[in-house]
Every structure is written in C-alpha cells, then in structure tokens.
Structure 1
Amino acid sequence: RATAAPPAPAAERPALAPGETAVSALRIHGERGIELVAEGEAELQRDDTLLTADRVTYREPTDEVLAEGDVVLSRGGDTIRGPKATLVVGDRVGSFETPTYELSRARPPALAGDAPRTVAGSGEADLLRLEGENQYRLANATWTTCSPQDPDWYIRARELELDYDREVGTARGSSIVFMDTPIFWMPWAEFPLSGQRQSGLLPPTFGSSNKTGVDFTQPYYWNIAPNYDATLAPRIMTRRGVQFGGELRYLGEDYQGTTRLEWMPNDKVTGEERRLGSIQHQHRFAPNFYGTLDLNAVSDDAYFEDLSSSIGVASRVNLLREGRLIYAGGWWTASALAQRYQTLNPDPDVRNAEPYRRLPQLRLDAARADLAGGMAGLLETEFVRFAHRETDRDEASRFVAYPQLSLPMQGAAWFVTPKAGVHYTSYDIDRAAGTAGKPDSITRSVPIVSLDSGLFFERESHYFGKDYLQTLEPRLFYLRVPSRNQNDIPLFDSNRFDVGFAQIFAENRYSGSDRIGDANDLTAAVTTRFIDAETGVERVRALVGQRYYFSDQEVYLYDKDELRRAGTGNEILAGLGGRITSTVTVDSYAQYNTETSRTERLNASVRYQPGFARTLNLSYRYAPNLRVDDDIVGLKDIDVSGQWPLARNWYGVGRVTHSLKDDRITEAVAGIEYNGGCWVFRTAVHRFAIDEDDVTNAIFVQLELNDLAGIGSNPLSLIKRSVPGYGKINDSSANRVFGED
C-alpha cells in the first residue's frame, strides 16, 4: 500500500511499517492504488530503499517505478546515480542508464578481535542492471576502490558482474588502467569484492635475478570448497626455462595440511630435470591423540641456491622429513618419531654435516606436582635408534631415563627449590671402521643435584619527574654434577649451548644426551627493572650474572674445547635494555671472560621509532669464538636498517649487513615505496652472498592496487624481514600510534 505526502526532511520522515511504500514530492497527481506521479523533489521510500528524482512515476499494481532526472537510489551501503532508472521495488530489479555507483560492504577482520573494515567499490557504466538483492550487471563499465572522482586506477570491462552474495566480481573483455594507461589486459577475470576467496587468475608476478634472469609467474587460484583450495603457478625464467608449480591447502574438523610441488622439465643452464615436493599435515585422531607429517625433498643440492631470490631459502641446508605421533595423558605424554634429513651440499670434512636419522625415537615423560610432602616428580625416558647415510659414522641404539624429585618452596618475595635426579644412559653401538676397538656397549649413570633460590624486592621511586616501580631480583643457583669419562660415546645429538641468561641456570651445558657436563659451580645473578608507574611500560631492565667454578671442568665435546678451571668466576654476563623513551628502544647483552680478559660475545641494538613508517635500527654482533661443530668461524658484523619518509607519500627502506671480520657486505637491501592512497608502488634490490664466491642479485617491482591485487614481484616479505619495525604504508589495520605510552 502506498501513501502520498509532501517531501519532508530526512530526520522528520515517519517510520514505515515493513513493506509499506511512501511517495512524497512538491506535486503529486494520479490515482492512489493505480498510478502516482510525483514531481519536484520526488522521493519513494520502502524499508531500507530510498529513491529520489525530479520525477517519479509509481505503478502500485505492478510495483514498478520510472524515475527521471537526477535519480539517486540509496540502499544499505549502496548509492547509484543516473539520469533515468526503471525499478521493480520489491523484487529489487531494474536498470539505470549511464549511471555512477558506489557500493560498500564490511570486510571481515584479518585477525580475531580486529574491527571490520569497509571496502567501497565505485565506477560508472553505460548501463547498470539490478538483478536481485546484491546482484549487479554492468555494460561498458569501470570499477575501482579509489575515490570515485578521477581514480588513479580502475578495471575497465565490456561486461562486469558484481555478486555480493559470493563477494565476487567477474570482468569480461577487461583491462586494468593505471594513470589513464592500460597496463594489463584480461579476457576474463574474477576479483574479490570484500576480501573473500574465489577462483580465477591472480595478477602475475615478475622480477629478475642473476641466477634466473627475467622471472615471470602467472598464478591461478582455485577455490575448490570452503575448506579446500589450490594455487597453480606456471613460471618462466629466461635463463632457466619453464617451471610448473602448485600448492594445495585443506582443512577438516580434525586435520589440516599443505602440499606443494614444483617441476622443471629441463633447466637450460644445467641440462637437468629439477623438482621440489613438500607435505605438511597435522591430524587429531582422538581428543588426546595427535599426529604430524613434515616431508620435504628437492632433486639436487643447488635447487634453492639457483631458483630462489631469498637468502633465507637459498641458504637452506637440511630439509626435514619426519612423522610424529603424540598422546597426551593427564600427567604423562608418549610420543613416537621417525626423522631424517636431506642435506644439501654435504661436506664430508665437517663433522656431522648431515644430522643423524632417528629411526625411531620413542619418548615417555611424566610429571606430578602433587606428591607427598609438597614434592614434585619428573620422569623423562627415551629410546632412539641413530642411523647415518655415511658408512664411516657410528650408529647406535640409546636408552635414557632421567627421574627427578624437587621440593618447591616459596613465599610472597622468595623461592627455594632443591632438586635431585639421576641421568641414566645406555648405548648399543655399531662401530664404524674408524672407531673399531672402542667399546660397543656403554652405560653411564650421573647424579645431578641443584639448589635454585631467589628473592624479589620492589619499591616506589621517582626519577626525572616520573614515578617508577623499581624491582630487585637476586638469584643463586648451585649445580653439582660429578665427572664421568664420556670420550668413547659418539656424538649423535649433542652440541654446545651458547652461554646466555637462560643457559646459566641450566643443568647441562650441552644439548642432547651424549654429553652430561660435569659441574661444581655457583651462579649468582641480579636483575633490576624500572617500570613506569603510570603506564606499566618497562623503561629499563638491567641484569648481571657470574658463574663461580669450584672444580676444574673435565667433560668436553671436541679436543679444541676450552674447559673452565677452578677458582674465581670466569664468566660475567650482563644485559641492559628497555623502552628508554617513547621513541627509543635498546637491547644489549655481553659475555666477558675474566680469565682471558676477553669479551666472548657482545650483541647490542638500538631502535629509533618516532612514528608510523619511521624507524631506524642499528645493531652490532661480536662473537670471536663462535663455532660450527668443532670449527671456530667467528662473527663480527654491523647491521643498519630503516624505513623513513623521503618526500610526500615517498618512503625509503634499506638494510646493510657488513662483516667486519671478512671486510665485505654479506647482505644489502635498498628500496622505495610510494603511497598513492588507493595504490602503492614498491621496488627493491636485494644482494646477498651465501659465501664469498656465490653472490645473488635480485630486483623486485610491485604495483599493489588496494583491495584488489598486487601486480609484479612482491618484496614485502623481504622488507619485513630486513627492517624490524617496518610499517606497511597502505595497511589500514596497522597500529599507527607511536611516541605515546
């Protein structure tokens, strides 16, 4: 039923019953119930639909509307303007001649807890047809997420379908126009309207490096089902040839996984076929029973080095291949593991260059904190069979059992925890020819006793006009482990821990179970913090610790190891860090050997970040005795990185890592970005050296069209890894509040 009335301001429009139609204008004539003609500021309103025009003719029996002159249709977040329109209001169908339009929807948040973001698409067309709620079909049309007035980029299509039920746009006979210049032609393409997935061609990626030449990839995304999708990615490299790649992802109620394949029939440089395969799968078989599978393989040692433009990928050495089963009980856990690696560029001169295989490893661990007398118990057991591809390596079956008892005692400002355990290990060894004559069966029992204690003090303090909560946290840790001769035990999984604040309170200075380091030492450490009383920000954190040796160390990994001697404390560890001001953060750590009067490790970094997309980083690393297995390689380098505005909307990014030890640049990144409001241009150059004689140069160029896609090779992952604190300049969800607490 339609009602007629003079026009009223929006705030004074009467509320309508669902389905009721109201027509208003300066002049209305006709017969109610048959046809009404409204002229002058004419309006027709029903539910969430408002139609305004110079003249509106409404035929109530057929629910048809003819609107003429400055027609505007508003419905939800959609607005369509044109000189003439015909509509069937209830069916939400009709057409607009030469319209302009703005259609907006809320985009789902990228992360849980984030607020939804509105994505608006706009454009113009020769003809726009409404084909039901959320369905639009346009002829000779444009679409963009830029401002509707003079957009920098848009899709121009002979035919354009906008389906907001599926959140998919489909363009036929289309091209992407940037700065009034067509840059990419698409005979058919689908694109997201509000961030939802859909099948279709993705924008191509292209780049260049000295290893691959010009590198072009045209991916196709296949949205198989809500919980299955795949990406097919044929790749052309001018130096190497054609590569076919693909990735399949799946998600079930109790499982999820990813499968990736790459295949190059013939590498024009090597003349060989090259392949990559990768499977990651996680499965929950029952509420407490889980399984994982992680399989990776490539056809040759130089696969990543030749075909990747990332130092993190190109320098990969060991590819994991393992399957694992885990059952978690209430207070115990059982697991089974089969593990091996594919080692790339194995060096037989480096000890254990290829890790041992674990075929299998079985573990049973139990922990109870409710034993009699307030005691806590822990049991760690393991059986593992170590095997190796090389025939000159020892192989063995190893059994480990480590029962432990502790008595935790604590108050409001103190804690004391005495602990005792026995680490039992037995080996059944298959000796290689080079170690024949050494015992095949070895057992080792090592008692381990420790006493951990600490205090916690705090007070209110006032410095530089601000109130702080200052803490003082002294800690003492005594460890007693008798020496056992372990020289006949091969090294299957043991290595040296870097000495740090986490390790100085550890029971064993070695990882794994092949070496149990002897100890008769006391570690003393103290930490103090200054916490802003108003904001809770930790402004300063300072800590210092020293270990005192009461007996000479006797257990070692390699002949070159430096063993600590009894006497005063040899190692002093110190750290200083915190958010010193609202814009400056520092972090530093040093390890000093009093016996040799040498600094054995020094890491220091400072970050200046006064605002979004404004960050400068400086770090220094020094470790002259850094080891890789039994070889001293040393480390001394300086790293500078940053992101900073260069001019209006222009930003520079860069990083340089310089090895002072070798006097050469090991990695360099330089790039620029431009934020055009609804698009971003990025370009970056990356140079890295896996070793002194193997240098890779790569260039990335990308045009990112907001809420549509990126065209070119994406340097974002490289930039984010290279520049700590980097801010994506077109990320509306980024936290842009800096310099405040």
Structure 2
Amino acid sequence: MSPAAPPFPRLLLCVCLTAASLETFAGSDFVPLKASPALSPAAPKGQRMEGPNQVEADRLEGIQNVYFEAEGKVVMRNLREQVEADWIRYDQAADEAHARGHIVLTQERDRLEGSELKLQLTPRLGSMKDVAYALHGKDGGLMRGAAKSIQFQGPDRYQMESATYSTCPANEQDWVLKMDELNLDYIGSLGSARQVHVEYLNVPILYSPWLDFSLDSKRKSGFLTPTYGATTDRGLELIVPWYWNIAPNRDATFTPRLMTRRGLQLGGEFRYLEAHYGGELNLELLPNDNLANRARYRGLIHHQQQFDSRWSGNLNYERVSDNTYFTDLSSMVSETSQTNIPREASLAYEGGWWRGSGRLQGYQTLQDPAATPLSDSQIPYRRLPQLTLSANRPGLVGASSQFAFSSEFVNFAHPGTTLSEGSRLHLNPSISMAVNTPYSVFTPKLGWYLTRYDLDNVAAGDRSQTRSLPMFSVDTSLFLERDLAWNGQNFIQTLEPRLYYVYIPLRQQASIPVFDSGVSDLSLDQMFSENQFTSVDRINDANQLTLAFTSRFLERSNGMERLEVTLGQRFYFSDQLVTLPGTSARSSNTTDLLGQASGQVNNKLRLSGGLQFNTDTNQIAKANLGGTWRDGPGRLFNADYRYTQGNLNQIDLSAQWPLAPKWHGLTRLNYSIKESRLVEGLAGFEYNAGCWSLRGIAQRLATSQTTTTSAFFLQLELHGLTRLGPNPLDVLKRSITGYVPSNQLTQPDASLSY
C-alpha cells in the first residue's frame, strides 16, 4: 500500500538549471546553432522508471485500502530514489502523503533534505519546507543550496522561495547565488526568477530584478557577461554584449564596446543555419576614432552552401577601413599579423574519382605605415577566375596502378600597373605503379606538364607561350628492424632508407611571368617532391636523387616510440638552371643536409629539433630546438629556439607552474635576439580556491615592426556559474603550449614539494 514517490529527480535539477541559465544574464561561452525543428524530427521524450515500492519503519500500522502510518526510521524506496523521514502518513482516498521530522530524499549521489512534506501524489500538489540540497554535476563537482520552501504546483511545476545555490563547501561559501522566488515549468520548458543576485565574499557583484530562461538547454535572449580591460592604445575598455535568440537556427549578438581613448564602437554578428546552407555576418563600426580622427569599420561575410550531394559553394568576404585597423583595435596575433585579407567565392563539384571547382579570389592588402611601402611584386595577383579539374583512378591499367590528373585555368589580374596580366592553362596527367613486398615499396611514375599562357602588358612576341615537359620518377623505400637491448630495456630499432629519383628535362622559362610561384622552403617533405617551386610558373629541370634514412626506437613491451631520427640530402647529377627572376642558379651539386629528431626522453621530458646544414660553407642555415617538461598536472615548462641565417634568431620560453598551494604562475617570453626586442611577453597568476578562481595576466605584444601594445586581464570565475572580466584563456592557450586552467587540472596541487 505504499505510495509512488513524487517526481523528485526533476526537482533535483531545478536550481542547477537556474544557475546555468544565469549565464544568459551574466555570460556564456560560444553557443552553437541548432538545426531548425522543421529540418529534423524531435527526439522522443524519456520514459519514467516506475518500480515496486517498499516501506520500512520501527512502527507501521493502517487499514488496507484506506491509509497507513509509519514512524521511527521510516524508509520508503523504489527503483529510482529513497525517502527517509521520522514519520510518514499516506491517505489513499485523498491520495495524499504527509512526512515530518528529518526528511531525506536521495537519488544516486544526490541528496535533498527538509523538515515537512505534504503532497497529493496524482495531481502533484503540495509543499516541502526548510529544504537543503547537495547535487553532483556532470563534471563531478558538488553543488549545494537551500530554499525556505518548495511548492509543488502540478506535474513538473515547482515554485521555490528564498532559494540559494553555490559550488563552495558548506562551511566556506565564498560565493552564493540567491533568488527570492524561483518558478519552474517543465511542461512549458520555462523558468523565471525574481530578485536574483550573486554575492562574492559577502559582497553583491551581480543583480537582476527579473530573469526568465529555458529549461531544456535552448538558448535565451539577454545580456551576456560584461567584459572589461585596459590597453595602452585603447585605454580602459568595457564590452556589454546582448544576445538575441531569433530561432533555434538563427541568432544575433550586438556588442557595444566603449574605449576611453578611442570612443564607442558598435559591433554585431548574425548567424544562420539551414539544412543546406549556413554562415555568419559581422560588422564593426567606430563612427569617430578620437585618436585617428576618422570613422573606422570592419565587415565580414562567411557563407557555405550544399546544393546537393555533389555541388557545394562558399563565399568569404572581409574588408577593413584602413591599414592599421587591426593593429589599433585588436590584440589577437592572428589579426594584427595580417598583411593580405583574402576574399573569395567558390563552387565545387565532387564526382567520386574526379572533382572540379571554380573560384574568384582577391585580397585587401594592408600596408604598415612605418615600413617600406610594398612594391607591386609584393602584392598578390587576383584570380578572376580560377578553374580546376582533377582525378584519381586506381587500377586503371593494373591492380597496383594509380592514374592521376590535375588541371587548372586561371586568369590573373593585378591592381598595380607594372606587372604582366593574363591567363594560364596547366595540365598534369600521370600514372604510377607500386610494387609492394613486406619490407619494401618500389613506385615508378610517368607524368607530363603542359602549360599555355596568354598574356597582356608584355612584348607582342611574348603574348602566347607554351611549355611541355615530361617527368619520370622512382620512389623506393625499405623497412628493416632489429631487436636492441639498452640500459636494461628491450627495444625494436628500425632502419628505413628511402631513395627518390626525378628526371625533368630543361626548358627555358625566363620569358614566362611569375604570377603565384615562389621557391619552396627546403624540408624533408619537399625533398620528395618533383618541383621545388610552389606553383607552375616555373617547373625545375631535374636530374636528381634524394637519399634519406629514418631510424626509430620503439619499446618492445608497449610500442612507445622513444626516439626518431631522420637525415636526408638531395644530390644533383646536372646543373639546375631554371630560376625565378632576380635569383641565381644553384652552384652546388647537393642541397643542404637536413636532419630532425624527436624523442620521449622519459615520462616527463620530450625533446625535438631540426637542422639544415650547408655542407659547402660549413654553416648552419636553419635550426630549431625545443623541449617540453611535464611534471604532473599544472607543472609545465616549454623552451624553444629558432634560427634562420640572416632572418630569424629567437628564443621562446613559456611555463605554467605551481608557486604554492592553490597558486600557479604563468609566463611566456618570446624574444628576438636579432632585433633585440620583445616579440611577446606575458606574466600572470592563477588562484584556485576550489569553487572559484582568479586569473591576472599582463601581456605585451609587438603588433608591427615598430609598434607594440599592452593588455591587462583580470578574470574571476565562479565555478559552475559564470566568468566575470576580460577572458585571458584564449591568450593563455595560444601562448603556453599545453596550458590547462587550474580548476580543470585532474589532480590538486596541494602536495607541493620544495
């Protein structure tokens, strides 16, 4: 005769969902768009689990089919939950349960306590007084709170009076979310709260007289977290975004940004997602920059379209008002380092083993006012249009054969007046056949380069040009291994020699203009390519052999790679005479010697390095050396050195390291030895109190050859609720490889040893 338990599982989620929804008022991370409900069927609602109920008590009495009364250590349970109380009475005619004393409801690890419960079970009408709860979140964190009372107002409808929420320990509630009234309607998936405020160290820091929100993870319109900061170029900054949830598959964010030195900037973003297309629109407008004394703007459009299973399209367009827009108004390296902003519209077709595409591409080129003006040759050509067709067909003339075909037609246009313009048609068919054994691969290949140019702004005799070049290559690899014992451990050592021969006859190409070709950086990957140039305005003559050796050391017990070493060099059997304008032909019969190595020295230290050595001059052309030391969660040190003869000489150090219990230090130093200047400097701290964290970061960043900017971040994170202040996490993750926020570390740092 025991009653069915009330639907407490939903109630256990209510305050937690309210706290999460506060991020709509106080801030949230990036929220992805969802497909429109019209585009996909709704998920079926979950079934409630009902099971046999049991009642245990020191005293149990009643009349069958009328009532029962239990007293003394009363325990009532079903498959989902358990209710404990000092006294419980159930009247079957009224379908009403009363409980008094110390009432405890548990479901798995979640716990709800109260002093009195009165509930009509079928209509779900009643109340519970003096409520306290402890809930476990999806991430394992513990959430606590209380309420003066809970009113059950029907199936899946609740009202809480004087409710609180926190993730702090019960005896150290450094922060708490308080609400005078909380209403939850799971039928309508709506919630509302009155007189909502957050206290931090007993000081109110956030307040809203009214808050309404969704209970089913749907996005909700409202203000996001105001962010603030300070930089030397822009002064104090305050950003107050407002989010508009237009539909499940459409939203917009309006972002006013007040900069004390430059003025008020207005920003907006609109996103959309449909079954076959999606994209975003962005606009930033500074009507009057107080320092530059002019209006400044940025506009951006991204659109992707899937017309059917084979046809797709893209549109990407971006424009800024002036050359220094990013260096003046942004602190992101990805933006301040831009010189050419690409714009393009493309259309592609996927035909299985063949594919085609077409695009229009141009650029906005930004000129650093403090640098030497860019010449026409430093400004990229526009492709108006570019058409490509390619194919890959295995087994065309044999099971191990591979037929490949690539082609391109481009019409090149240039905004300058001194360079040639015109069109280029390029065809490159090839066929290869791989001969495989358990220990080797032998792959001969035949190909042909066919190119035609139709040019403007050149001498009359050079307007139409053609070039035809055959190509032959052989790629051979061996895979050898042996057992090796060293320092008490058993290893497998591999030896993997590789030979790659290429022959391409000489064709004079000096009269052909250079539209989009440069010399590829020498690397181990590039050594095994046919052409040393980045595009087809130049096809090198070749009679050359690349020889490389790779050796790996693998632990026999688990296959872990402890060390990998590779050496490689290219040998020329004839002079290579095809060059770019303004460059001289190669004078050596070998390339520089290349080497690279990487290894897991032990469980804490990983090292890697690379070397490019000129064997003619006995000088280092390029070098890099790096290492990472990980001594447990939050104990990280990175060191890198990069050198390029005549161009680059930098050291780069970064670390995340515990300074004391709960404290972590954060730093990065990227210094140019060649230029004697700081490229990027960062220093800061993190304090993790368990239920809240504080991050303070100072950053100095070179935005151009002669200018720098400084930024300051101070962020308070209330775990399980929201973040307040300018967000340094993106800067930290980019600047410190391997950085993890201290509140996300898998182990605490309380057991520090010094």
Give the TM-score normalised by structure 1: 0.88
Number of residue equivalences? 701
2:716 is aligned to 703
Cα distance in 1 between the residues matched to 2:747 and 2:500 = 43
2:480 is aligned to 457
1:59 equivalent to 2:85? Answer no
Contact 1:3 1:23 in 2 (8 A): no
Instruction: Choose from 384, 387, 403 the match for 2:429.
Output: 403
Secondary structure at 2:742 match in 1: coil
2:384 is aligned to 359
Cα distance in 2 between the residues matched to 1:422 and 1:602 = 36
Encode CA deviations 1:544-566: one digit per residue, 9 max, x unaligned: 1111122222222241x353225
Secondary structure at 1:611 match in 2: coil
| Structure 1 pair 407–74 and aligned structure 2 pair: CA distance change class (3 A) | closer
Which letter maps to 1:707?
G
Instruction: Choose from 98, 114, 123 the match for 1:82.
Output: 114
In the TM superposition, 1:270-669 aligns within 5 A as: 270-345=292-367, 348-373=373-398, 374-431=400-457, 439-559=462-582, 561-567=583-589, 569-625=590-646, 634-669=647-682
More displaced 10-residue stretch of structure 1: 160-169 or 543-552: 160-169
Which letter maps to 1:85?
L
Contact 2:510 2:581 in 1 (8 A): no
Report the Cα offset of residue 219 of structure 1.
Answer: 2.2
Report the Cα offset of residue 623 of structure 1.
Answer: 0.5
| Structure 1 pair 92–580 and aligned structure 2 pair: CA distance change class (3 A) | farther
Contact 1:604 1:619 in 2 (8 A): yes
| Structure 1 pair 601–3 and aligned structure 2 pair: CA distance change class (3 A) | closer
Secondary structure at 1:126 match in 2: strand
Encode CA deviations 1:358-391: one digit per residue, 9 max, x unaligned: 1111111112221224432211111111112223
Which letter maps to 2:722?
A
Secondary structure at 1:305 match in 2: helix
More displaced 10-residue stretch of structure 1: 349-358 or 413-422: 349-358
Secondary structure at 1:691 match in 2: coil
Cα distance in 1 between the residues matched to 2:171 and 2:125 = 27
Cα distance in 2 between the residues matched to 1:264 and 1:187 = 32
| Structure 1 pair 296–349 and aligned structure 2 pair: CA distance change class (3 A) | closer
The CA RMSD measured in Å over matched residues stands at 2.8
Encode CA deviations 1:420-463: one digit per residue, 9 max, x unaligned: 222111111111xxx65672222122222222111110112111
Contact 1:121 1:193 in 2 (8 A): no
2:222 is aligned to 200
Cα distance in 1 between the residues matched to 2:213 and 2:644 = 51
Contact 1:282 1:293 in 2 (8 A): yes
| Structure 1 pair 526–275 and aligned structure 2 pair: CA distance change class (3 A) | same
Contact 2:224 2:241 in 1 (8 A): yes
1:184 equivalent to 2:193? Answer no
Contact 2:496 2:550 in 1 (8 A): yes
Report the Cα offset of residue 90 of structure 1.
Answer: 3.7
1:125 is aligned to 147
Encode CA deviations 1:306-336: one digit per residue, 9 max, x unaligned: 1112222222222221122111112111111
Secondary structure at 1:125 match in 2: strand
Secondary structure at 2:515 match in 1: coil
Which letter maps to 2:146?
E
Report the Cα offset of residue 207 of structure 1.
Answer: 1.2
Instruction: Choose from 66, 72, 79 the match for 1:40.
Output: 72
Listed as ranges, the gaps of 5+ residues in structure 1 are 5-16, 108-116, 626-633, 737-741
Report the Cα offset of residue 472 of structure 1.
Answer: 0.3
Cα distance in 1 between the residues matched to 2:361 and 2:188 = 44
Which letter maps to 1:294?
N
| Structure 1 pair 198–349 and aligned structure 2 pair: CA distance change class (3 A) | closer
Listed as ranges, the gaps of 5+ residues in structure 2 are 5-48, 750-754
1:244 equivalent to 2:266? Answer yes
Encode CA deviations 1:685-739: one digit per residue, 9 max, x unaligned: 1111123421100011111222322111111111111111212322378999xxx
| Structure 1 pair 367–46 and aligned structure 2 pair: CA distance change class (3 A) | closer
Report the Cα offset of residue 79 of structure 1.
Answer: 3.0
Report the Cα offset of residue 149 of structure 1.
Answer: 4.1
1:725 equivalent to 2:725? Answer no
2:23 is aligned to none
1:154 equivalent to 2:176? Answer yes
Contact 2:237 2:260 in 1 (8 A): yes
1:11 is aligned to none
Report the Cα offset of residue 92 of structure 1.
Answer: 4.0
| Structure 1 pair 361–692 and aligned structure 2 pair: CA distance change class (3 A) | closer
| Structure 1 pair 689–436 and aligned structure 2 pair: CA distance change class (3 A) | farther
Which letter maps to 2:382?
R
More displaced 10-residue stretch of structure 1: 313-322 or 44-53: 44-53
Which letter maps to 1:676?
A
Contact 1:550 1:566 in 2 (8 A): no
| Structure 1 pair 308–440 and aligned structure 2 pair: CA distance change class (3 A) | same
1:97 equivalent to 2:120? Answer no
Secondary structure at 2:291 match in 1: coil
Which letter maps to 1:645?
P
2:251 is aligned to 229
